[in-house]
Chains A and B, each alone.
Chain A
Amino acid sequence: MSLTGIRAALARGVERVTGTALGPYQAAVVRIGFSFTWLGFLLREWPHRRELYGPDGPWSWAMARQLISGNGAFTTLMWSDGTLWFECVYLLSVISSVLLLLGWRTRASSVLFMVGVLSLQNRSVFMGDGGDNVVHLMAMYLVLTRCARVWSLDARRARRRAPAGGGAAPPRDVTGVALWALLGAALVVATLVPGVSPGWAAVFWGLWLVQALWWAVCRHAPRGELRTVLDMTGNLVHNAGLFVIMAEVCLIYATAGWYKVQGSRWQDGTALHYPLHLDYFTPWPALSEVLGSSGLLVTAITYGTVIVQVAFPFTLVNRRVKNVLLAVMMTEHLAISVVLGLPFFSLAMIAADAVFLPTVFLLATGRIAGGATARLRARLPGGGRRGGGDDGHPRGEDGDGHGDGGRDGPPAGDGGRREPRTLVG
């Protein structure tokens, strides 16, 4: 390639990562997947919430404080040992999961989601497993992304306002301002409480101030250059965040696979036999027995698991092979969910895998879900409202099926640049 060719390619690349929030459907499906997983987990553990994370559980508040004073992990549960405070935090984590799932004021709800996840998990680190670990990481990464561009209440609001907002100033966003003020007040209180590290305080205040800046710029200089620069910054951070999410998934599989290669049981093809006979991983003993009785099956799954995990990162260069492996991995996680009794771990892994799903597939899924929702609405009394559906997608995106795994975002992604975005949307 000639020097000018390289420069042109580089310029095109810069235009894309600054001008577009790539992979909007992938980001949305990761958002929905993880908020759904965590919400399901919180609801399932509702009867056990005090035993897992409460101040008077087996891992008591005082013990947690000893451990956390050593490692400095972030958790709001250390601010008070009151049961009422604990209940508030748990409930807030449930609510923020619902809000993130729906994509309501996502810039704010994703931060609240992260606060909830970190607060509960860091409070009782010995209660978690691999699934909690993935949720923990992704909750942080999601804050960086513009993950509510599609399939969200934020996207629906932006779409509804778009025709009216044509060239005029954006309508007043009372809810956004109120939410921002409320969170600011909460932040003042939180900063006064000893226990928030300066690093975390800086993160939260930074995010809060950026929202104010974005609001002010959109309101007073929606055509200005500063707005373009800020928008490009948002895109850059989103694209980097999505890239980190994808790299993290590769790291997970690479680590899981390469360490297995070194294990004698994975080498002799019997590894799967052992978890099928562990008390903690056999919710369905008869099923485990049937699975484990076939030497051929156990050997095939044992080898297959290692091959798929080691191979996955390398298959990203080939779309078709990658999609086949993705389907295999998701199927395996579905099986793990039942056979080993790890539904939330499996759900979290499937949500992580979903970042590599092809845009065509996601669009088709969205259309099916949209159709089902519309039919359901039409049947409900007073249904058939127009313009509903958080599943609708911006115009001009059907037909573009080339996008893939965040590397080829849909072309309409630049629509967001012209639409004034809400304060915390």
Chain B
Amino acid sequence: MEHTEQRGTAPPAGVGALSLPARVAVAVVLGIVTVAALAHLTLVFLHVAPENAVSARHREVVSGYVYPEFEQNWKLFAPNPLQQNVAVQARAEVVARDGGVTVTAWTNLTARDAEAIRHNLFPSHVNQNELRRAWDFFTGSHDERDRPQGPRGALSEEYLRRIVLSRIGPETASTRVRKIQVRSAVTPVPPPVWAPGADGTSGSGDRTDGDRSATGTTYRTLPWWKVTPGDVPGTGGAGRAAVVGGP
């Protein structure tokens, strides 16, 4: 420390050795940089902090600055971790070559993601985030009766359709897809057996989010969607991407 300070003051080229205009210039820069850094951190703080009087009053300033490039969310597994497995499943109404119309069985697309992640040191975002976040996007932009809320709602439907069509095979092999239907299957993760009150006799009084006795799977089934050839992404997997359209 000592010699750091010595060096700090010793060089003749320090601020003190500068001419007055140069010193003023450095002072101005120092002021601007300090104010900018503090303003940035204050706005980011207001963005990540819980809503409070200050952030509510300056909401437009905060979001105007933070979005889109400084957006951030660090509620990692907080306030509570997700306590249910959400599986996205899909089925299709298909036309066979002979013109017969059938409905395929439900395909569990999330189970395929899980399979790709299993025993993989470097799972891909394609399996970890794509479908999972698309479903979050859908539920976040729709009301409880599956009606889209604003333009994001329509976008999320299109996104989900495209993901499903790029993955739904081989159930739709050698047929043409006319409509698809998507549902979610939500299965709660049971609390650990060693947890207090795991025997169901005590200790569950403060558990407000989630009923520990609920272990069954609940479904949310969306309406049938008509699909067009334009709904099939060009990046679907071989044997997985649906063929859409036709007579």
A240 touches B34 (CB 8 A): yes
B189 touches A277 (CB 8 A): yes
Given A44-B122, A63-B159, A262-B79, decide whether A18 and B207 contact each other with a Cβ distance below 8 A.
no
A283 touches B36 (CB 8 A): no
Q: What total of A-B pairs shows CB separation below 8 Å? A: 254
Residues of A within 8 A of B (CB): 11-12, 14-20, 44-45, 48, 50-52, 54, 56-60, 63, 66-67, 70-74, 118, 122, 126-130, 133, 136-137, 140, 225-226, 228-229, 232-233, 236-237, 240, 243-244, 247-248, 251-252, 255-256, 259-260, 262-266, 268, 270-275, 277-280, 282-285, 292, 294-295, 298, 338, 341-344, 400, 402, 408, 411, 414, 417
A58 touches B133 (CB 8 A): no
Within 8 A of A (CB), among B1-27: 1, 3-5, 7-9, 11, 13-16, 18-19, 22, 25-26
Indicate if B61 sits at the interface (CB-CB under 8 A).
Answer: no
Give 30 A-B contacts (CB < 8 Å), ordered by A residue: A14-B30, A18-B26, A44-B122, A44-B124, A48-B124, A48-B126, A56-B233, A58-B134, A58-B163, A70-B151, A122-B68, A126-B133, A126-B159, A133-B72, A136-B69, A225-B19, A232-B29, A236-B29, A236-B30, A260-B78, A263-B81, A264-B208, A266-B80, A268-B195, A272-B81, A275-B81, A279-B114, A282-B118, A284-B118, A338-B121
Query: Chain B: which residue is nearest A243 at the CB level?
Result: B37
B74 touches A252 (CB 8 A): yes
Query: Chain A: which residue is nearest B25 at the CB level?
Result: A229
A262 vs B92: C-alpha distance when bound (angstroms): 43
Which of A50, A247, A272: most chain B CB closer than 10 A? A247
Min CB gap A238→B, angstroms:
10
Indicate if B97 sits at the interface (CB-CB under 8 A).
Answer: no
Q: A12-B9, A63-B159 known; 16 other A-B pairs, CB under 8 Å?
A: A15-B9, A17-B30, A59-B162, A66-B155, A74-B69, A127-B133, A130-B74, A133-B72, A225-B19, A225-B22, A229-B22, A244-B37, A264-B207, A294-B194, A338-B121, A414-B7
B118 surroundings in chain A (CB, below 8 A)? 282-285
4 closest Cβ contacts across the A-B interface? A56-B234, A295-B194, A263-B79, A259-B78
A28 vs B19: C-alpha distance when bound (angstroms): 33
Number of residues in B with C-beta < 8 Å to the partner? 90
B113 touches A280 (CB 8 A): yes
B206 surroundings in chain A (CB, below 8 A)? 264, 268
Residue from the list A128, A256, A268, A417 in contact with B196, Cβ < 8 A: A268
A271 touches B4 (CB 8 A): no
A133 surroundings in chain B (CB, below 8 A)? 71-73
**At the interface with chain A, which of B40-48, B51-59, B98-106, B176-184?**
B40-48
Query: Chain A: which residue is nearest B165 at the CB level?
Result: A58
A275 vs B82: C-alpha distance when bound (angstroms): 7
B83 touches A19 (CB 8 A): no
A247 surroundings in chain B (CB, below 8 A)? 41
Indicate if B192 sits at the interface (CB-CB under 8 A).
Answer: yes
